[in-house]
Amino acid sequence: DTGVSQDPRHKITKRGQNVTFRCDPISEHNRLYWYRQTLGQGPEFLTYFQNEAQLEKSRLLSDRFSAERPKGSFSTLEIQRTEQGDSAMYLCASSLGGDSPLHFGNGTRLTVT
């Protein structure tokens, strides 16, 4: 399978703990995106990378959230001091440049207890 892969698929953590998610994009895609989706809502944009540079961040991305894409390949999204409101599906997508469509992974479902 050469699609976008995300790990883990599910994560349960206690409030206050830190969590990290990984995304492996389609190999030739230079753009990588993180979105968050809560129940009954559409995905909401969090941040975007072009190669290793983080070029855009949503105001949804509080200072407890940090994303990296070292070497312009895989990406990690870390949430520090998790809160119950962080419970959501975290989706990663990648694309080629320009107006190319986004290819999404199947997400990491985070539950904060």
Partner 1 sequence: DAKTTQPNSMESNEEEPVHLPCNHSTISGTDYIHWYRQLPSQGPEYVIHGLTSNVNNRMASLAIAEDRKSSTLILHRATLRDAAVYYCILRAYQTGANNLFFGTGTRLTVIP
Please give the angle made by the CA atoms of 104, 63 and 10, to the nearest 5 degrees. Answer: 40
Site membership for partner 1, residue 103 (CB under 8 A): yes
Site membership for partner 1, residue 87 (CB under 8 A): no
Cα 58 from Cα 69, distance rounded (Å)? 17
Question: What SS3 class is residue 2?
Answer: coil
Burial (Cβ within 10 Å: 0-12, 13-18, ≥19) of residue 22 = middle
How near is the Cβ of 102 to partner 1 at its closest, in Å?
7
Site membership for partner 1, residue 74 (CB under 8 A): no
- Binding mask 22-61 toward partner 1 (x if CB under 8 A, else -) reads ---------x-x------xxxxxx--x------xx-x---
Q: Catalog residues that contact partner 1 under the rule CB under 8 A.
A: 4, 31, 33, 40-45, 48, 55-56, 58, 91, 93, 97-107
